[in-house]
Structure 1
Amino acid sequence: MNDQKGTSTILPMMLSVKGYTVVIVGGGKIATRRILPLLEVEVNVIVISPEVTADIKTWHGQQRLHWKAKCFEPIDIKNAAIVIAATNDPKVNLQVYEASEKHQLINLADRPNLSNFYVPATFRRGKLILSVSTSGASPGLARQIKQQLSEIYDENYESYVEFLDQCRQIVKSTSLNQQTRNNILKELLKTRYRHMDEREREEAFKQLLEKEGGKQNE
């Protein structure tokens, strides 16, 4: 038995953030990049900065986030679950860190060693989410790898993953034994299904299910 403890302090995970309040301190290019993925999920985004980019102003006007045109004060992050310090002033970023509490997730754009979470380079294809992180060592490399992956896992994967999800639910509802269910789902992972259009996929799956004697439970 191996009793040796892991040496990494980073635990990759997907976090359900519905209803969370996320405070971004800063309104420049880095803050804008940090905000982009937040707009894709159901969180309450608050930006604290005297000045912001045109994109942030637009999102504020669209009510996709709330911008407070002011300098940072500790009270600004009191009710935040997630805090991101992304100003171009290291002193302000440090003030944000010092004002944070232990239960809060905090990320400093310029001091990854003080952060308790990192923002990975991420892209989505519907339900497929791919993230790359170098644990703060090289954000540029993470973005480069993300770009390479986005070319491999193109837009076609969005409908393909949705198809797989629907098929999985149908297969689970049948009276087939577990091994047969697994075989069907494994078959659907073959490349030819990914290159089919929606109608072809549905027909191919229907034929596969009938071949295996699958019948949905009522």
Structure 2
Amino acid sequence: MKQRGFPNMLYPAMLKLEGKRVVVIGGGKVAARKAASLLEAKAIVQVVSPEVGTEMTELMAHHPIDWQQKSFQREDLHSAIVVFAATNDRKVNEYIGQCASDQQLVNIADDPEASSFFVPASFKKGKLAIAVSTSGGSPGLSKKIIQELSSQYDDHFIDFLDFLAECREQIKDRVSDSAERKQLLTELIQSDLYEKIKEADEQERVRLFNNLIDSRR
């Protein structure tokens, strides 16, 4: 059987898109989903489409989206960092990909293999963001894994993660030696202390953390 799908040379990354211009070409359900996730990332979203559907209309009613009510033209991609080709016409999507420069990241909704990047299955809770990819082998399995992980990392764990973030800032403020800072941060997530802090209430967490700091003096 011929193997298809994404190559193994993929580079995982989390993009900072706040304040960056991103273009979504298309006005249907897929385009609306793309635009919604980009708005969460605080990107500057421009939508290019002669018409938009109910989902996109609702999105535009509550968020600052620059809607260019027209058919796609090559110049629509100027200065865009990321491009999503999400029309219902495969030939148009293909043309969009051809118009993009080598310096632009392009996602073609109906042709992942021709895209320069793809959006993996993911979920976000507080500071925690987890993405899963099977390199195109089974997108359905990626979603299943995400569902399992989202139930594993509940609100209690998110509170724990917030506490670790506070500890990190305190260690940076209270400990001047870089090697010692690194050691303390490592000890925070070692099995013994990690499990104790994770299961403790807020008061007990603070006590355990202060004991850790004091033990290094």
Fold-level match, TM-score > 0.5? yes
Q: State how far apart, in whole Å, the 1-side matches of 2:70 and 2:154 are.
A: 41
Q: Secondary structure at the match of 1:67?
A: strand
Q: Which amino acid aligns with 2:114?
A: L
SS at match of 1:190: helix
- SS of the residue aligned with 2:101? coil
Shift of 1:65: 2.2
Could you say which residue in structure 2 is the equivalent of 1:203? 207
- Identity across aligned pairs (percent)? 38
Cα distance in 2 for partners of 1:49, 1:72 equals: 7
Distance 1:36 1:195 in 2: 35
Partner residue of 1:104? 104
- CA 1:103 to 1:185, structure 2 compared with 1: closer, same or farther past 3 Å? same
Looking at structure 1, the residues matched to 99 and 193 of structure 2 have their Cα atoms a distance apart, in angstroms, of 49
CA distance in 2, matches of 1:138, 1:45: 30
Whether the aligned pair in 1 keeps the contact of 2:29 and 2:55 (CA below 8 Å) is no
CA distance in 2, matches of 1:93, 1:189: 52
Change (3 A) 1:55 1:174: same
Paired with 1:131 and 1:98, the residues of 2 have a C-alpha distance of: 28
Distance in 2 (alpha carbons) for counterparts of 1:213 and 1:66: 54
**TM-score, normalised by the number of residues in structure 1:** 0.82
State how 1:5-154 maps to structure 2 within 5 Å. Answer: 8-154=8-154
CA contact (8 A) 2:25 2:49 kept: yes
Task: Work out whether 1:168 is the aligned partner of 2:168.
Answer: yes
* Superposition TM-score, scaled by structure 2 size: 0.82
Q: Do the aligned partners of residues 147 and 103 (structure 1) sit closer, same or farther apart at CA in structure 2, a change above 3 Å counting?
A: same
**8 Å contact from structure 1 (residues 168, 185) kept in 2:** no
Structure 1 residues 180 and 108 mapped into 2: Cα distance closer, same or farther (>3 Å)? closer
Q: State the 1:88 CA deviation.
A: 1.9
Aligned twin of 1:3: none
1:53 and 1:175 map into 2 onto residues whose CA distance is 56
- Shift, 1:124, TM fit: 1.4
1:186 aligned to which of 180, 189, 199: 189
Q: 1:197 to 1:38 in 2, by over 3 A?
A: farther
Structure 2: segments with no counterpart, 5+ residues: 1-6
- Give the structure 1 partner of residue 4 of structure 2: none
Aligned residues of 1:29 and 1:53 also touching (Cα < 8 A): yes
CA RMSD of aligned residues (A): 2.5
Q: Using a 3 Å threshold, how does the CA distance of structure 1 residues 72 and 175 change in structure 2: closer, same or farther?
A: closer
AA aligned to 1:181 is L
Structure 1: state its 5+ residue gaps: 1-6
Please report how far the alpha carbon of residue 182 of structure 1 lies from its aligned counterpart in structure 2 after TM superposition.
Answer: 4.8
Q: Answer 1 or 2: which has greater helix percent.
A: 2
* Aligned counterparts of 1:97 and 1:213: Cα–Cα separation in 2: 56
Q: CA deviation at 1:22?
A: 0.8
Once structures 1 and 2 are overlaid, which stretch shifts more, 133-142 or 178-187?
178-187
- What is the total number of aligned residue pairs between the two structures? 207
CA distance in 1, matches of 2:94, 2:51: 19
